[in-house]
Amino acid sequence: MTGLLIGGQAPDFCLRDQFGQDIRLADFRGSKAVAVFFYPFAFSGVCTGELSGIRDRLAEFITFDTEVVAVSCDPIFALRAFADSDGLNFSLLSDFWPHGEAARAYGVFNEALGCANRATFLIGADGVVVDTFAS
């Protein structure tokens, strides 16, 4: 379960990607839908498989004018190594500091483990949550 309701406004965030560039959710508003994937840790078995699957199907998302971003609480240096190691050619965003702030805003931060729970949010070009999936 996530903390956001379908039909509600998605919380904005500004996070650094694996190249150190700021990515702000609001910058896509009015032009692209955004698929936001929260995942626990870079280089873990399930997360590696999940993000490789996204990489392999990235063209399907882009066809529908959708930006794809994946968010974890790992530092940007770990995300850069993860992206380079696995050929991940989409934005990996660091929710490292303030630690888990974006994950908390989306209701998916796991306090006991200090990481995001696995969850996906589909956000329309208008900034409204279209669908959510959590496991």
Backbone φ/ψ region at 114: left (φ over 0), alpha (ψ -120 to 50), beta: left
Indicate if 47 belongs to the active site.
Answer: yes
Within 13 Å and on the Cβ side, how many CA atoms surround 121? 33
Neighbouring-strand partners of residue 128: 9
Q: Which of 14, 47, 73, 115 is catalytic?
A: 47
H helices of 17-132, in order, are 45-56, 58-63, 76-86, 101-105
Distance in Å from the first CA to the final CA of the chain = 8
Cα–Cα distance for residue pair 51/29, rounded to 1 Å:
24
Q: Give backbone dihedrals phi and psi of 58, rounded to 5 degrees, phi first.
A: -55, -35
Q: Which residues pair with 129 in a beta bridge?
A: 123
Hey, which residues are catalytic here?
47
